[in-house]
Chains A and B, each alone.
Chain A
Amino acid sequence: MTQTAVQPTARDERVTRKSPLQKLLGRPEVGALVGAIVLFVFFASVSQTFIQPNAFATVLYGSSTIGIMAVGVSLLMIGGEFDLSTGVAVISSALTASMFSWYFSMNVWVGVLLALVVSLAIGFINGWILMKTKLPSFIVTLATFLMLTGLNLGLTRLIGGGVSSPSISSMDGYQSARAVFSSSVKIGGVDVNNTVFIWIAMVAVASWVLLRTRVGNWIFAVGGDANAARAVGVPVKATKIGLFMAVGFCAWVLGMHNLFAFDAVQSGEGVGNEFLYIIAAVIGGCLLTGGYGSAVGGAIGAFIFGMANKGIVYAQWNPDWFKFFLGLMLLLATIVNLIVKRRAELK
């Protein structure tokens, strides 16, 4: 092949205008969206029940309990960090609220607010230790994960005398708190759990912050290259600590749902869920290395997980193979995601 000189009239490719379709295909979550559509069509074709509105509401509820956390975890991953303590932090929050209100016979709302403070504090401590020590977040949050697991069990046994928190369903403020964190709304004759709306609202807020505010730019900057970000005046420390606290906030929301949906919380719950949140964010197009991704992507990732999780049940497949199917589907969804993204980048 002969080398041809670059046309002098060619414009710099960085400033060429992209067509709206190209723009859409360049978004981080588009691969996940295609994966979600494929999965939806697949389950709709193998199961009659799957597409019924009430079944779909169940899928959305299952997705929302992953998705609420995935919002915070996605932002954190865009900011270049991990949090392995999220699964148990949810339970820590729920236990704080229930044990505190129960032990002091207080209005449940006092416990709920205290749990918010504790959850934010856990996030703050994670971020603060990370920034002080410069250790990888993997190590720091692994330590927090283990400590919280121990605290959940130890404190629950010490205060409540059992391994699950006592039921708080007859206490003052329970009904109103339940209405906020775990109730259902009738839409077209179908009960939709309000976590679905909380989830959507949180995704909307997170997307707005990421795409329309200065803080959003900071998050992308610290995840892309923390040193470069610091050099141009981005408050790296505050941004990262803030991100961990945002994760803490999500843990609080989900923890309160867990508490008010089931009245009592078992102290050993939550272990292993941290990976589901990370998986949701990764499927949704967040890079494990940071600097790239979106909140909507994490939501779609959670939705894919919810569809796979519930779809297998609706399809009436042999449950022995459940985990295998789940893993396979996650793998396929991520591969579709990858292919679509590569295609989009080539154009």
Chain B
Amino acid sequence: MTKFSWRKAAVMAAVIPLMALSACSSTGGRQPEAGSGGGGQVASTPRMKVALITHAAPGDTFWDILRKGAEEAAAKDNVELLYTSDPEGGRQAQLIQQAVDQKVDGIAVTLAKPDALRDALKKATDAGIPIVSLNSGADVWRGIGAFTHFGSDENLAGAAVGEKLNSLGVKRPICVIMEQGNVALDSRCAGVKSKIPTTENLFVQGTDMTQVSSTVTAKLQATPEADAIIGLGAPFTLTINKAVESLNLQDKVKVASFDMNGELAQAIIDGKVAFTVDQQPWLQGYGSVDALWQAKRAGIHVGGGLPVLTGPSIIDKSAAPDVLKFAQEGVR
């Protein structure tokens, strides 16, 4: 082994930043922010504590948007927002228990695994904490004591995609599920299938984009009659679209999507992706925190005993330009 030379290291330490300075990118990259326009007036109500407890896996863009909505509502309503999440039902129940222990003034919770959460939520209602459910649980939210639900019906959203694809003349779509055994994703594809019975499901490993790409490529090679492919999340659709392009199938296979992000909005504008169906996660986060504030303010219950639907809204080439800016901000 050669000896480590401090002199060499010092030279490197001096030279590398110099090289870096001369290597600035003229395009792309972070643009200096033009002063944040936010801020504004904060509600004069006393500070309250709201827990937002989701089943999100860390690092998912969808939940990031939802969280931003909740944070914005919290900032306006003078709410201290406690955001926690755990994809596993039992541990999500423990998070609810912890929120009850902290004597929060309201709980916003996703009901992906309602049975696991029932007991913990019972403790919350016993302690007189108002509950709003969001995102998942459209059929169970009443039973667990929530006064309303902010969400979009996944099956309905799937059916909307199916209808839209039907109108585009699609006969054999492939629905790409990136997490096997996820109820919400299954019902999206089931919704598509309810309108186009020949819909086929494909499972990919969502934690590895290279596997998503190569498995989609394999599926398209094996199914030459496929004429549409549906991604169930914006980043996955973008990867799927690249696979379609690398096979030179973009004229034959239409790409459709669920959910939204900045790059997806751009891809829709560019005509690479036909459309997406958005459930407006930002509104789910914002609405549920705001509803809890209203409940605290004067016992006001939004929804009138019915769920508040945040989608589905279809965004195609004509609607995408209006969404683009906000999608890039991470609000849509």
Question: Could you tell me if B211 and A309 are in contact, using CB atoms closer than 8 angstroms?
Answer: yes
**B222 and A271: CB pair below 8 A?**
no
Nearest chain A CB to B95 CB, angstrom units: 17
The answer to the question of A47 belonging to the interface, with a C-beta cut-off of 8 Å to chain B, is yes
- Is A167 interfacial (CB-CB < 8 Å)? yes
Docked complex: A149-200 residues within 8 A CB-CB of B = 149, 152-153, 156-157, 161-164, 166-174, 184, 191
Cα-based distance from A262 to B221 in the complex (angstroms): 20
A101 touches which one: B29, B64, B211 (CB < 8 A)?
B29
Which chain A positions have C-beta within 8 A of B218?
55, 58-59, 62, 310, 313-314
Do B242 and A262 have beta carbons less than 8 Å apart? yes
Given A104-B29, A105-B25, A107-B23, decide whether A184 and B246 contact each other with a Cβ distance below 8 A.
yes
Cβ of A110 under 8 Å from chain B: yes
- Which residues of A, 115-164, contact B by the 8 Å Cβ criterion? 149, 152-153, 156-157, 161-164
A153 to B85, CA, bound (A): 13
**Residue B30 lies at the interface, judged by CB distance under 8 Å to chain A:** yes
Instruction: Kindly identify, within residues 43 to 58 of chain A, every residue whose CB is under 8 Å from any CB belonging to chain B.
Output: 47, 49, 52, 54-55, 58
Q: Is the CB of B23 within 8 A of A106?
A: yes
Q: Are B23 and A152 in contact (CB under 8 A)?
A: no
Q: Are A310 and B215 in contact (CB under 8 A)?
A: yes
CB distance from A232 to the nearest CB of B (A): 17
> Does A249 reach chain B (CB closer than 8 Å)?
no
- B63: chain A residues at CB < 8 Å are 163
Most buried by B among A49, A58, A106, A262: A58
Q: What's the nearest-Cβ distance from chain B to residue A314, in Å?
A: 5
The answer to whether A238 and B1 touch across the interface, beta carbons within 8 angstroms, is: yes
User: Does A102 contact B30, Cβ atoms closer than 8 Å?
Assistant: yes
Say if the beta carbon of B27 comes within 8 Å of chain A.
Answer: yes
Which of A52, A110, A254, A262 sits near B239, CB closer than 8 Å? A262
Contact B210 A268 (CB under 8 A): no
Nearest Cβ distance between residue B54 and chain A, in whole angstroms?
13
Q: Which of the residues A261, A265, A309 comes within 8 Å of B213, measured between beta carbons?
A: A261
A303 at the B interface (CB under 8 A): no
Tally A residues with Cβ within 8 Å of B: 67
Which of A25-33, A289-297, A316-324 is the interface stretch?
A: A316-324
Interface string of B197-217 (1 = CB under 8 A from A): 000011101011111011101
Interface positions of B from 61 to 83, Cβ below 8 Å from A: 61, 63-64
Whether A105 pairs with B59 at a CB distance below 8 angstroms is: no
Q: Would you call A86 an interface residue if the criterion is a C-beta within 8 Å of the partner chain's C-beta atoms? A: no
Q: Are A323 and B28 in contact (CB under 8 A)?
A: no
Task: Please measure, in the bound complex, the distance between the C-alpha atom of A259 and the C-alpha atom of B240, giving whole angstroms.
Answer: 15
Asked whether, in the complex, the Cβ of B211 is within 8 Å of the Cβ of A62, the reply is yes
B26 at the interface (CB under 8 A from A): yes
Query: How big is chain B's contact interface, by range?
Result: 35 or more
Q: Tell me if A62 and B215 are in contact (CB < 8 A).
A: yes
Known: A268-B57, A269-B59, A319-B203. A167 touches B263 (CB 8 A): yes
Contact (Cβ within 8 A) B29 A266? no
Given contacts A52-B221, A261-B242, A65 and B60 within 8 Å (CB-CB): no
* Residue B235 lies at the interface, judged by CB distance under 8 Å to chain A: yes
Q: How far is the CB of B236 from chain A (nearest CB, A)?
A: 9
A220 proximal to B (CB < 8 A): no
Is residue B180 contacting chain A, with contact meaning CB distance below 8 A? yes
Would A171 and B27 be within 8 Å (CB), given that A49-B221, A110-B19, A322-B180 are in contact?
yes
Give the residue of B27, B61, B221, B246 whose beta carbon is less than 8 angstroms from that of A170: B27
Q: How far is the CB of B287 from chain A (nearest CB, A)?
A: 21
Does B30 lie within 8 Å of A323, measured CB to CB?
A: no
Residues of B within 8 A of A157 (CB): 64
CB-CB contacts below 8 Å: A241-282 with B: 254, 257-258, 261-273
When chains A and B are docked, how far (Å) is the Cα of A116 from the Cα of B63? 31
Q: In this complex, what residue of B is CB-closest to A323?
A: B180
Q: Contact partner of B222 among A101, A105, A156, A313, CB < 8 A?
A: A313
Tell me which residues across on chain B come within 8 A of A61, comparing CB atoms.
Answer: 210, 214, 217
**CB-CB < 8 A to B207: which residues of A?**
268-273
Give B contacts to A, CB under 8 Å: 1, 19-20, 23-30, 57-61, 63-64, 180, 201-203, 205, 207-211, 213-215, 217-219, 221-223, 235, 238-239, 242, 246, 261-263, 330
- Add 16 more A-B contacts to A164-B261, A266-B60 (CB < 8 A): A58-B217, A58-B221, A65-B210, A65-B211, A105-B25, A105-B28, A153-B59, A163-B61, A261-B213, A262-B239, A268-B58, A269-B207, A272-B207, A310-B215, A313-B222, A316-B222
